[in-house]
Structure 1
Amino acid sequence: MNQAAGQVPTKVNPQLFKSSWPAFWITTNDAQQREYGIYHFRKVFLLPASVIPKSFLIHVTADNRYRLFVNGKPVCSGPARGDLFNWFYETIDIAPYLTEGENTIAALVWNMGTLAPVAQVSNQTAFLVQGNSATEKMVNTDASWKVKKSTAYTPCSLDNGERLKAYMVVGPGDQVDGRQYAWDWEKTDYDDVSWSNAEEITHPEPIGYGTDNRWTLAPRSIPLFTEHLLRFLTIRRTNGIKVNQDFLTGKKPLKVPSNQRLSILLDQKTMTAAYPELIISGGKGAKIKLTYSEALFDKQGDKGNRNEIDHKEIKGNYDVFIPDGENNRKFRPLWFRAYRYVQLDIMTADDPLILNDIYGMKTGYPLQMNATFSSNEHSLQEIWKTAWHTAQLCAGDLYYDTPYYEQLQYTGDSRIQALISLYTSGDDRLMRKAILDFYHSRTPEGLTQGRYPSNRLQIIPTFSLFWISMVHDYWMHRRDDAFVKQFLPAINEINEWFRSRVDQKKKMLGPLTWWNFVDWDNFNGWGTAPGADDGNSSILTLQYAYTLNQSAELFRAFDLAQQADAQEMLALELSDHTYWYCYNPSNGLVADTPEQKSYSQHAGIWAILSGAVPLQEAQPLMQKILDDKSIGQVTFFYRFYLTQALKKAEMGDLYYKELKPWRDMLKLGLTTFAEKPEPTRSDCHAWSASPDYDFLATICGIMPEASGFRKILIKPALGELTEVSGSMPTPSGKVSVQFKRIGKNGIHAEILLPDQVSGTFSWKGKEIKLRAGTQIITI
């Protein structure tokens, strides 16, 4: 199934953007509308041969989610997650699936109710299809549609957090009883005479229209997901049965005798996000449990080397399938699963079972690698590939922090993910959606929520600052002034929230409310900065000053000089006073608070990034925070900002030596990069994919010198590398660089800039102007 092929948003009927839609949101009266339930919707319609159209556009969405079929064939899934003010719909051309005569359009719709993922916003169970024009109106959802509540589904795996001793909020597993499933319900020849007619709820309303709206519709702004066959690579362990590896090819069915208990551990060899599909025959009354895990656990609950399985067990999210005894029955969960390992635990009854096949349908946001990086050290390629794999798995209908545990979009994570997307793929659509998602999340206080979409309120004030940084990043790397300008009032509100909380005596931030998270493994169990609750945190104050300087650049670019001046003056005042109170000349470090009882790399990083420390003092400070292991250390999240500080202090060459944490993860058998140093919860966490940005932006030194990448700065920081090459997309075209060291301080550079773009090459304090096209520089 290639879902992206059918999406044609450019042909949408303009009338649908400015008035109520003729179709109805529909539901069933056979359910509590906000409770767990899975439903089958279908409609049969006639197409004479003379009127089969070349195009048949429909707009489709559901609450919570749906999977659409036409004549039994899967077409697409959705919607992309949003909120009730921005409820997304997909536009699909289903003409390729239609035939002469009777056709059936059908949808599996589910509502997880109170068990829903935290990322899922909801109103009630509902489904919607709107034909694009008079040609397609025959499929509009109304009371002529048939609906049946499924009795086959029961939620399972409800205690994941307890068993894994971790925060896990992706929703329940699926237990499906094949004896109660309406097999072939999506096909035209299925008899639905006993089904109920759908219940009409209300006419849909687009953004900017309607009153008493239950959902306000917005067109999907990101591409549809694709699915690709992904076979398991090896069987690592069996219990109670011998299994040949040929079973994994799909050509050697496995026979399981009656009244048996057995298990089979499959290894994908790498983390993945996929819909597992299990095809079985016979086995009436058997029970098949599929458990998914990033790694196996020893008796102490530790993962250790991810490749090792001896004396370890699988723990994690699971699904259950109960066969009905018929042939070629397929089990597939409602939503994708993240896993490296999958264990089948099978218990047969009196009827023998045949496992015909098991495989995954790999899915996710279709990020494409359009950048290159290579060097004389091959080990960097493994980091580059693993970081890319991490970024891919954490890109869905949101920027996921982790595909296994949360699938939530956090601003702190998303800023790093967005830069990775821009540098490696050039695709800004998910970044734009994330910026808008957080913009729509704003609270009456003016702050953005820390994660969004979310059905639970969480406010992290530092993440509101990161959202401003994210808008600034977009402005620097893309050319869309109208998109950026709309956020200026919200940016001003966030800055004012912090400004109103400045301690006027010390000119540092006073006590702050909400969760003032900075980084894991530091300060306290919640990663909260010292002084956040009581006031005068150097970390938070200096991050605010850094953000004010970015805000000032944005406001000045849009001819708001007075506001820009005020923001710059406040940033200077905050950074100067914080440095005066918190810098300790005896140890050369910046303390976390004026009491100077604790120190961290974080405080020094923000002192450098905010400009509180002049360059001549930034370098010894930077060296101190690298060398002193007694102070609070950054984890993988804040290593992104450690690298930014290295560059600001003109010490980017040290970045190469700071890659040890990523090398250590590879030695432990991780195939994606983890949330934090061992012991870690998540083995796949987006913020740890930052090397894919830094290899291009730091080692290759490709950075925007002016907004929109209109000018390009090439400032390589090769460290101990002797040869490096890289390329990446920009709004004007591809930038490529090749560097070769000459002795200790010399370099040979070949640089290609896109047409009509100029720039600067900077090496060891020497600057050379660049022009469009290819140029060769030897220093």
Structure 2
Amino acid sequence: MSESIELPEKHPLRQAKWIWPGSYLYLNNCYADFRKDFALKRVPEKALFAITADQSYRLYINGHYVCRGPARGYQSHWPYDELDIKDFLKKGHNWIAIEAYNTGTGTFGYIHQACAGMLCAAEWDDFKFYSDESWMMRRNISRLKDAARYSVQLSYQEHVAASEHSRDWIYSEKMSDELEKDFTTYSRYSFIFGRSPYYTLEKRTIPMLRESLYAPKAVISKGIGNADSSYIKWSNIAFGFYEELENSKWEKFPESKYKNSDGFLEFELTPSGHKNFNAVLVDIGQHFIGTTEIELSGGNASAVLDINYTEGAKNLAPVLPRKEKNGCNIAMGNRIFLNGGKFHHEFYHPMGSRYITLIARGTEKRLKIKMRLRKYEYPFEMRGDFNSSDKVLNNIYSVCRHTQQICALDAYVDTPWREQAQWWGDARIQARNTFYIDGDSRLFKRGIRSIAGQCATEGLTSGHAPTSSHSCILPDFALTWILTVWDYYYQTGDISLFVEQFPRIQEVLDYFRQPKLLSKSGLVKHDRRLWYFGDWAPVFKGEIPAFLNMWHLYTLEKVIEMLKVAGMKKDAGEIKAEAAAKRKLAKKKFFDASKQLVYGGLDEKEKPIKEYSIHDQTIAIMLKLLPDCEKNMMKKLILPFIRMEKLDPAIALPSPFWISYVFDILTEKGYGEDVIKFIRKKWSPMISTGTTWEHYTWEPGENWSASHAWTAHPSSHFVNIISGIRQKAPGWKKITVEPNPVNGMKKAEVLIPSPKGDIVSKWEKKGNKINLSLLIPEGIEAEIVEKSGRKQTLSVSGKYSFALQGSDC
């Protein structure tokens, strides 16, 4: 952990105690409530309040919602949040209410350490308070513990009993005697700062999430069907509804029967009776991630209202993941046991979806519903921009931007839907998207440290972290983690993160140096204990994969470059010798001289496996491993693939995630127009959902997500290819500019939020001339390249205009 993010020695949190109601038994799916009343003689000019909880919290002050946190992390240096709450305070009586949650088990975003706690502190002038045994606290029993998981990757469905649930302790200045008694029945477990597992704390280092309230767009349909006789006992309400959907009937919901009023979507559900269900399908308007707030009146005490979250709908009906092919056990649903009167609740866990289905069962009276959503997102400014005369490409770019936003929370997440996990292969793509869309590197930097923080098998990183998953250790993603340290340096020009992480980088590299993982000649073998991923495509994954060995070599050579910049000459020399030997071996062992291509790999006897992939040729070109063969690699495999020509079915083709690397080498080789045509063909269908998909195709009900930012990379490729702006040195010290009016495009403009300032380019094609205007920030050297090959260099910042020689197309 870097010293720069450690908790200061005199920080108020060091005087606070970790507290939790009851002991640390039975933490499974545990909700805890905390309240502190206090009086202020005056409101301070600045009121810094530090707070954290394991696993998470929601903070209210004087009945007003403030925020949720903390960022995901590790108990040994658990993250805390610090915010100025002055605007929420008043002279006289004040109260703080905190909802906290601990899943009681591990997830794909959390490691459980058989402990839970809330910690907070404030020191304002002569007023001080800290979390301790004087706080009122209780376990909230209105949420049933016996609920299914949302998925293999996430925590538990929220089943709340309205009759046991009151939020007066949050909103009321004085609690009722009955509520106060409820808060005094639990023992107050506490321990001082610094005790295991919470040895210290670390700063959040990223902004608090941006939160906003809004109403869903519309109620689009209503459905009826036979209710399963055992619905009241369901622990998994999503799987139960899946079975009921088969024979249900759906029709359009009249627009006159719902309204948007005061930021809420309002509508009614007619009585269902005890043998049927009545349901409505709500369209949020776009994919989002957040919580659902709901106000109910009517119904009856023996009824339930279920809320299911889905990415897709078809024929006016919601489409849930196929139960029989649901490897992730995706079951995104919550439940309310009605009380027959008024009820107000905001569900705790952020859910990612496009559609929300509300299903009433057992209702004998009309149920009036008001709902709104609280959206959570990383506070990108989204300064970067791309706009052109091609409306389809503009729409694809917008889809990429939106997907990038909803996949950025307290970490880059693969999808806001079933996982919300910080997969690091995905994050590399997402970070590059960010550099072109926003320019913020803080989330990336925190993620690099987060991945480093979980040490897996023999020094490797986990594929995503923090995580409880023991099956997600990917040697190639550990190398990708090192490459993201390079990406951070190349983007920012800051080598300090590499220096900080170099000991951890050495641990990863040492894994690949183990004799048991090396062949007789010294090549890296496939460690079959672990998940060698490469890509979803069927690249060779036998004894000695070419992909893994070349990815390893590519990583070593980037490490050498960083060591030289850092002035670590001895380490650079040692790894340079290692890389030189690996390069020589790769050229000797993986080169098919007869085909002038790279083999997929070798068998146990180091004999070549005559399998070929786009991936292996691409990495070879990235490495400049066989420069004399690059034209052949392009001609035989890469160009036919990108031009969507017929290839041997045995050729492994890249997924829409890994193809980003292919796009890069094609752009460098001058085939940008082919890339744009491919993107137009493959990404245009994604416009229909407003998001980029996990794969090239998607249908409602599939386990693959329709909201995956690893396919949002056209946001950077459009800029590189069409504006022709490409970074050529760390920290954006040098760029090239080569406007490229592909596919008959008439004009385009871009803004790149570089670390040195905004780079702005606008060009318009007039005949065979390209009129270019360019804004270059201070500290950037720009080389302007015309189609004729003529070049000119700009070393002074400012605004420029050019009439460039273009092509006749």
> Normalised by the shorter chain, which TM-score bucket?
0.7 to 0.9
1:331 aligns with 2:345: yes
Tell me, what secondary structure is at the counterpart of 1:193?
helix
1:774 Cα deviation from its structure 2 partner: 2.2
Q: 1:433 offset after TM fit, Å?
A: 0.7
Of 152, 168, 175, the match for 1:184: 168
Report the 3-state secondary structure (helix = DSSP H, G, I; strand = E; otherwise coil) of the residue aligned with 1:487. helix
From the superposition, tell whether residues 656 and 567 of structure 1 become closer, same or farther in structure 2 (CA, over 3 Å): farther
Please give the residue correspondences for 1:228-239 in structure 2 after superposition, counting only pairs within 5 Å.
228-239=212-223
Amino acid at match of 1:237: S
Letter in 2 for 1:203: I
Q: Distance in 1 between matches of 2:747 and 2:521?
A: 49
SS at match of 2:444: helix
Q: Which moved more, 1:172-181 or 1:712-721?
A: 712-721
Q: Which of 654, 670, 678 is equivalent to 1:658? A: 678
Aligned to 1:55: 46
In structure 2, the partner of 1:303 is none
Q: 1:132 to 1:415 in 2, by over 3 A?
A: farther
Q: Structure 1, residues 630-660: CA drift from partner, whole Å, max 9, x if none?
A: 2100011111111122234443443212214
Structure 2 counterpart of 1:725: 749
What is the percentage of aligned positions where both structures have the same residue?
A: 25
Aligned to 1:448: 461
Structure-1 separation of matches of 2:123 and 2:39: 18
CA distance in 2, matches of 1:741, 1:351: 66
In the alignment, the residues of structure 2 paired with residue 73 and residue 749 of structure 1 have an alpha-carbon distance, to the nearest angstrom, of: 52
Match of 2:800 in 1: 775
1:155-194 matched pairs, under 5 angstroms? 155=145, 158=148, 168-186=152-170, 187-191=172-176, 192-194=179-181
Q: Do residues 142 (structure 1) and 132 (structure 2) align?
A: yes
Q: Is the 8 A contact 1:157 1:319 kept in 2?
A: no
Q: Say whether 1:509 aligns with 2:524.
A: yes
Tell me which amino acid in the other structure corresponds to 1:270. Answer: Q
Rounded to whole Å, the distance in 1 between the matches of 2:736 and 2:127 is 52
- 2:780 is matched with 757
Amino acid at match of 1:693: S
| Alignment match of 2:406 (pick from 381, 393, 410) | 393
**Structure 1 counterpart of 2:333, which letter?**
Y
User: How has the CA–CA distance of structure 1 residues 682 and 649 changed in structure 2, closer, same or farther, with 3 Å as cutoff?
Assistant: same
Name stretches of at least 5 consecutive residues in structure 2 with no aligned partner: 225-250, 322-330, 603-607, 642-646
Match of 2:242 in 1: none
Q: Name the residue aligned to 2:478.
A: 464
Cα separation, 1, equivalents of 2:123 and 2:433: 36
Which digits, 9 at most, give the CA deviation of each residue in 1:295-335, with x for residues without a partner?
A: 13xxxxxxxxxxx42576445411111232333x2222111
Task: Give 1:342 deviation, angstroms.
Answer: 0.9
Residue of structure 2 in register with 1:127 after alignment: 118
Tell me what 1:637 maps to.
657
Aligned match of 1:272 in 242, 267, 288? Answer: 288
1:344 to 351, 358, 362: 358
Question: Structure 2: how far apart are the matches of 1:20 and 1:180?
Answer: 33
Q: Provide Cα deviations, 1:694-739, integer angstroms capped at 9, x if missing partner.
A: 2223432333322222223334555434432211111211111223
Letter in 2 for 1:625: L
Change (3 A) 1:463 1:763: farther
Distance between the aligned counterparts of 2:35 and 2:5, measured in 1?
25
Distance 1:110 1:504, change over 3 A: closer
Asked if 1:692 is matched to 2:715, the reply is yes
Q: TM-score, normalised by structure 1?
A: 0.88
Q: Does 1:377 align with 2:390?
A: yes
Whether the aligned pair in 2 keeps the contact of 1:25 and 1:142 (CA below 8 Å) is yes
Distance 1:516 1:317, change over 3 A: same
Which of 308, 313, 317 is the equivalent residue of 1:291?
A: 308
Are the counterparts in 2 of residues 637 and 688 from structure 1 also a CA contact under 8 Å? yes
1:559-607 deviations in whole A, cap 9, x for unaligned? 1234334434543443343234333344443220142331111111111
Query: 1:137-184 deviations in whole A, cap 9, x for unaligned?
Result: 23x1111111121111025762655xxxxxx41222111111001331
Deviation, structure 1 residue 544: 1.3
Matched residue, 2:191: 202
User: How many Å separate the matches in 1 of 2:725 and 2:582?
Assistant: 31
- Is residue 323 of structure 2 the alignment partner of residue 309 of structure 1? no
Alignment-derived partner of residue 561 in structure 1: 569
Q: Provide the C-alpha distance between the structure 1 equivalents of 2:365 and 2:614, rounded to a whole number of angstroms.
A: 63
Secondary structure of the 2:293 match is strand
2:696 aligns with 677
Which residue pairs with 1:353 in the alignment? 367
In structure 2, C-alpha distance between the alignment counterparts of 1:359 and 1:202, rounded to whole Å? 39
Does 1:39 pair with 2:21? no
3-state DSSP of counterpart to 2:168: coil
Structure 1 stretch 505-514 or stretch 314-323: which is displaced more? 505-514
How big is the shift at 1:29? 1.8
Whether 1:214 and 2:208 are equivalent positions in the alignment is: no
Cα 1:445–1:713, aligned 2, differ >3 Å: closer, same or farther? farther
Contact 1:572 1:612 in 2 (8 A): no
Per the TM alignment, residue 106 of structure 1 is displaced from its structure 2 partner at its CA by 0.9
Q: Is the contact between residue 62 and residue 109 of structure 1 (CA under 8 Å) also seen in structure 2?
A: yes
Rounded Cα–Cα distance in structure 2 between residues aligned with 1:495 and 1:697? 32
The answer (yes or no) to whether the contact 1:582–1:596 under 8 Å persists in 2 is no
List per-residue Cα deviations over 1:368-413 (Å, max 9, x = no partner). Answer: 2101112221110111000011111110111101111111111101
Change (3 A) 1:262 1:214: same
Deviation of the 1:13 alpha carbon:
9.7
Aligned length: 730
> Deviation at 1:212?
4.2
Q: Is 1:249 paired with 2:244?
A: no
Unaligned runs of 5+ in 1: 1-9, 162-167, 206-210, 297-307, 524-528
Query: Any idea what SS the aligned residue of 1:598 has?
Result: coil
User: Quick one: structure 1 residues 658 and 565, their matched pair in 2 at CA, closer, same or farther if it must change by over 3 Å?
Assistant: farther
Check 1:20–1:672 CA distance in 2 against 1; reply closer, same or farther (3 A cut). closer
The two structures, once aligned, show a CA RMSD in angstroms of: 2.8
- Closer, same or farther in 2 for the Cα pair 1:52/1:663, shift >3 Å? closer
Work out the CA distance in 2 between the residues paired with 1:13 and 1:606: 42
2-structure distance, mates of 1:63, 1:243:
45
Aligned position for 2:551: 543
Structure-2 change in CA distance of 1:716 and 1:442 (3 Å)? farther
SS at match of 2:312: coil
1:95-138 deviations in whole A, cap 9, x for unaligned? 22122322111111111113x53211233221111114564423
Change (3 A) 1:215 1:266: farther
Question: In the alignment, is the contact (CA less than 8 A) between 1:35 and 1:112 conserved in 2?
Answer: yes
Q: 2:763 aligns with which of 734, 739, 748?
A: 739
| Residues in 1 aligned to 2:258 and 2:24: alpha-carbon distance in whole angstroms | 42
CA contact (8 A) 2:5 2:205 kept: no
Q: Distance in 1 between matches of 2:746 and 2:590?
A: 40
SS in 2 for 1:176: strand
Task: Letter of the 1:29 partner, please give it.
Answer: G
Contact 1:590/1:603 (<8 A) preserved: yes
Cα deviation for residue 75 of structure 1 reads 0.9
Letter in 1 for 2:296: I
What amino acid does structure 1 have at the position aligned with 2:34?
F
Q: How many angstroms apart in 2 are the aligned matches of 1:462 and 1:294?
A: 30
Superposed CA deviations along residues 231-280 of structure 1, whole A, max 9, x for unmatched, are: 22232221259654552413755263474731101122321112122211
Q: Distance in 2 between matches of 1:644 and 1:715?
A: 15
User: Measured at CA, do residues 87 and 363 of structure 1 come closer, stay the same or move farther in structure 2, by a change above 3 Å?
Assistant: same
- Could you tell me which amino acid in structure 1 is paired with residue 315 of structure 2? I
Q: Provide closer, same or farther for how the CA distance between residues 729 and 217 of structure 1 changes in structure 2, counting only shifts above 3 A.
A: same
* Letter of the 1:47 counterpart: L
